[in-house]
């Protein structure tokens, strides 16, 4: 979705809602990239309107920026705006970048001229390229019509090129404004400003823009001060005015990083309060790839709250323009959403995906992608799961510890620890794991709980949510037989079980689709975002079994006996999916008594 539409949608509601966004830059190392994505995951749960990724000076990070933008939009599922500059970019390369992001479902570009490449003083138009951001905006509109939302840069103090001895002359400032208006007239629909520390200058700039007929949103760029030297370097480079009181406050604490950061949070908060008091409802935070200060400012402003994190669906809604209407998923990949997205990339029938006609789309084949892990996660898994396994009970114990929250990682989950709803049943999960029912997915039953409940809610306030109790686990053939016997006496239970070789047993038909989560909201049809179905289960089972070797056994040296034990379990156990369809009176865990 275009950022302008999101801003309009949010600010049109007459409820004083203020929206915010985060800027990131491409890190230099692979580890840095992985760390950034982990940080981003933690930040996007607070629902920023968009996140943007910069284009390295002179195009130095072009490929990486494109790759990060794609991952942000499609895997992190956050509305992404990619910066694009004209520096060193002939028009073919500009088009290459634009068609690439278009094909990835990204709809937002921050169109910039760019700074001169490293070591040069002045911007030089490359042969076959553009002279300024205005040219780029015109090009995007003429070649891509309305597909892209276009944001441009605005400079409350004037562009650094025209700032002399700390200020832009009145004439240069007016020229800059007039030029900004031309960028808007050419098709830009949002302005994000250069950083500033004098809020009055920003408010005057907004007023001046309005005076000359610029009506689109002007989003203030706020850069929290994280450390003194970085602050001096950045404001020097951008020729930003620093009010005396800020220098006076920083001078005595400049060697104390914690104190500087605390002051930066205080200052950022006060600046935003003043901006919001003037009626502006959008804030853009230059995070410098750090999360603490940006989140602290938003918390101080009351715009985010740890306990108020809300989900629009039980899974994070995709941002990709082609699948933004997706509304149903099988439950199996609940803890591996990125793998699910990767395996369904080719589906072109959203909102229904394959659920409209289940014979249509098939899942992408299992690939190395499903087993790649960021290094930090790999380290955590090694620490927690590469423990000596002498008997099968040692395996049970690891599963149990994960359910009790004693381990933070699991080879079967991409998420950080347990989902909030799992904590409702973690004691029961712990005890069945110790019996050899090795759970990898679950949900408690819910009957008509308010949709803004912090543990099981989704879809925002005003509705009611429901779900059937669900368990998915590995167990030995003996245990499966005992369970099947029990299920025969309890017709409210439906199950599917399959081993690695494909031996199948179940009490449902192969074409049955069971809704296990649904919600009732004012003035809407019933929303039914999670299902259990045999066809997807049979696709998922290959991935689930493969994780024994490629996710867990791989953590051990080749000759380690633990590895052999894991392989035995992988080849002999069944994967079981069990639903208690009585979401009002059922008790799924009672079935494990006496087994
Ligand atoms: P333009 O809008 O083209 O303007 C540049 C200057 O030239 C202005 O003073 C303008 O008034 C003047 N000018 C240009 N053409 C005309 C004309 N025809 N008539 C009159 N005046 C004219 N840099 C990066 O390398 N990568 C990034 O990712 C990046 N992200 C940024 C994000 C934001 C929000 C901002 C504010 C800046 C960012 N920059 C980035 C820096 C930016 O590239 C530089 O400030 C650059 O010098 C100008 O880019 P621009 O798009 O503002 O240029």
Quickly list DSSP for 370-431. GG---HHHHHHHHHHH-----SHHHHHHHHHHHHTTS-S-BTTB-SSS--GGGGGSHHHHHH
Q: How far is the CA of 159 from the centre of ligand 1 (A)?
A: 7
Q: Could you tell me the CA-to-CA distances from 192 to 82, 140, 156 in Å, in that order?
A: 13, 18, 10
User: Helical H runs in 477-560?
Assistant: 477-489, 534-547
Nearest CA, atom 47, ligand 1: 115
pLDDT at 361: 67
Nearest partner of 424 among 443, 410, 405, judged by Cα: 443
Write down the pLDDT at residue 362.
Answer: 84
Burial 162-194 (b: 16+ CB within 10 A, else e): bbeeeebeeebbeebbeebeebbebbbbbbbbb
Question: Does residue 221's CB lie within 6 angstroms of at least one atom of ligand 1?
Answer: yes
324 contacts 1 by C-beta, under 8 angstroms: yes
DSSP at 312: S
Say how far apart CA 586 and CA 502 lie, in whole Å.
30
CA distance 346 to 228: 48
294, two tokens? 């940006």
- Whether residue 464 contacts residue 449, with contact meaning beta carbons closer than 8 Å, is answered with yes
Q: How far is the CA of 58 from the centre of ligand 1 (A)?
A: 13
End-to-end, the C-alpha distance of the chain in Å comes to 51
Global pTM value: 0.88
CA 458 to chain centre: 16
Query: SS3 for 450?
Result: strand
Residues 6+ apart with CB under 8 A from 506: 494, 495, 496, 497, 534
- Please work out whether the CB of residue 176 comes within 6 Å of at least one atom of ligand 1: yes
Best of 155, 179, 286 for a ligand 1 pocket test (most atoms within 8 Å of beta carbon): 179
Burial of 451-473, coded b for 16+ CB within 10 Å and e otherwise, reads bebeebbbbeeebbbbbbbbbbb
Low-confidence ranges of the chain (pLDDT < 70): 307, 348-349, 351-361
C-alpha to C-alpha distance for 253 and 259, rounded to whole angstroms: 6
* DSSP 8-state code for residue 366: P
Beta-carbon contacts of residue 99 (< 8 Å; ≥ 6 apart): none
Is 23 in the active site?
A: yes
The C-alpha angle with vertex 330 and arms to 328 and 334, in degrees rounded to 5, equals 105
- The answer to whether residues 126 and 98 touch, using CB atoms and an 8 Å cutoff, is no
Instruction: State the pLDDT at residue 354.
Output: 63
CB 88 within 8 A of CB 113: no
Residue nearest to atom 25 of ligand 1 (CA): 57
For residue 352, the model assigns a pLDDT of 62
The CB of 403 under 6 Å from ligand 1? The reply is: no
Nearest to 242 by CA among 290, 197, 283, 295: 197
Residue 138 has φ and ψ, to the nearest 5°, of -60, -45
- CA of 165 from ligand 1 middle (Å) equals 20
* Contact predicate 52/80, CB 8 Å: yes
| Ligand 1 atom at shortest distance from the alpha carbon of 55 | 28
Residue 471: predicted pLDDT: 98
Query: Would you say the CB of residue 139 lies under 6 angstroms from ligand 1?
Result: no
Residue partners of 117: CB distance under 8 A and separation at least 6: 57, 58, 59, 60, 87, 88
How far, in Å, is the centroid of ligand 1 from the Cα of 329? Answer: 43
Cβ–Cβ under 8 Å, residues 189 and 2: yes
Nearest to 535 by CA among 363, 371, 388: 363
- One DSSP character per residue, 578-593 reads EEE--TTT--GGGGGT
Give the separation between CA 589 and CA 591, rounded to whole angstroms: 5
Which of 152, 10, 11, 149 is CA-nearest to residue 80?
149
Give the Å distance between the CA of 301 and the centre of ligand 1.
Answer: 30
- Tens digits of per-residue pLDDT, 281-337? 999 999 999 999 999 999 999 999 876 777 889 999 889 888 888 889 999 999 999
For the Cβ of 335 lying below 6 angstroms from any atom of ligand 1, the answer is: no
User: 33, 556, 79, 6: which is closest to 316 by C-alpha?
Assistant: 79
């Amino acid at each position: 979705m275009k950022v302008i539409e999101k801003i309009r949608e949010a600010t049109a509601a007459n409820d004083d809602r203020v929206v915010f966004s985060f800027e990131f830059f491409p890190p230099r190392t692979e580890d840095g990239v992985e760390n950034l994505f982990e940080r981003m995951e933690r930040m996007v749960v607070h629902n920023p309107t968009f996140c943007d990724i910069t284009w390295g000076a002179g195009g130095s990070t072009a490929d990486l920026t494109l790759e990060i933008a794609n991952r942000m939009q499609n895997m992190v599922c956050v509305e992404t705006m990619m910066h694009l500059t004209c520096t060193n970019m002939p028009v073919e390369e500009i088009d290459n970048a634009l068609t690439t992001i278009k094909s990835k479902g990204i709809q937002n570009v921050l169109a910039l001229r760019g700074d001169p490449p490293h070591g040069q003083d002045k911007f030089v138009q490359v042969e076959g390229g553009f002279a300024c951001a205005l040219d780029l905006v015109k090009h995007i509109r003429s070649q891509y019509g309305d597909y892209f939302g276009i944001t441009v840069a605005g400079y409350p103090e004037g562009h650094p090129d025209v700032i002399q001895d700390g200020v832009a002359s009145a004439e240069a400032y007016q020229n800059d404004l007039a030029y900004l208006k031309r960028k808007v007239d050419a098709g830009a629909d949002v302005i994000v400003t250069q950083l500033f520390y004098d809020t009055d200058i920003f408010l005057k700039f907004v007023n001046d823009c309005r005076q000359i007929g610029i009506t689109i949103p002007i989003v203030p760029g706020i850069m929290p001060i994280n450390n003194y030297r970085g602050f001096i370097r950045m404001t020097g480079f951008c020729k930003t005015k620093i009010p005396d009181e800020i220098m006076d406050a920083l001078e005595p604490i400049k060697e104390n990083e914690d104190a500087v950061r605390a002051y930066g949070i205080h200052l950022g908060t006060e600046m935003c309060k003043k901006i919001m008091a003037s009626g502006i409802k959008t804030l853009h935070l230059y995070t410098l790839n750090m999360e603490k200060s940006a989140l602290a400012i938003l918390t101080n402003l009351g715009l985010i709250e740890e306990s108020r994190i809300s989900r629009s669906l039980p899974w994070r809604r995709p941002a990709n323009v082609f699948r933004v209407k997706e509304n149903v998923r099988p439950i199996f990949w609940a803890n591996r959403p990125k793998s699910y997205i990767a395996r369904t990339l080719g589906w072109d029938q959203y909102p229904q995906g394959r659920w409209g006609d289940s014979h249509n789309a098939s899942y992408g084949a299992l690939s190395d992608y499903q087993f790649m892990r960021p290094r930090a996660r790999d380290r955590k898994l090694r620490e927690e799961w590469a423990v000596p396994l002498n008997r099968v009970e040692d395996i049970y114990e690891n599963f149990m510890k994960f359910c009790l929250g004693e381990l933070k990682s699991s080879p079967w989950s991409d998420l950080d620890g347990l989902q909030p709803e799992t904590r409702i049943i973690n004691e029961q999960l712990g005890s069945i794991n110790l019996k050899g029912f090795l759970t990898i997915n679950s949900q408690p039953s819910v009957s008509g709980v308010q949709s803004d409940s912090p543990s099981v809610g989704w879809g925002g306030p005003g509705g009611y949510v429901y779900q059937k109790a669900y368990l998915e686990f590995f167990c030995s053939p003996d245990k499966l037989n005992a369970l099947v016997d029990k299920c025969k006496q309890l017709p409210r239970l439906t199950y599917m079980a399959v081993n690695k070789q494909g031996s199948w047993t179940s009490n449902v038909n192969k074409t049955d689709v069971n809704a296990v989560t649904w919600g009732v909201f004012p003035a809407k049809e019933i929303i039914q975002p999670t299902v259990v179905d045999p066809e997807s289960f049979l696709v998922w089972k290959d991935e689930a079994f493969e994780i024994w070797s490629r996710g867990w056994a791989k953590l051990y040296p080749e000759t380690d006996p633990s590895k052999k034990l894991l392989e035995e379990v992988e080849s002999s156990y069944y994967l079981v999916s069990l639903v208690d369809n009585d979401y009002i009176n059922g008790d799924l865990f009672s079935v494990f008594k006496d087994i």
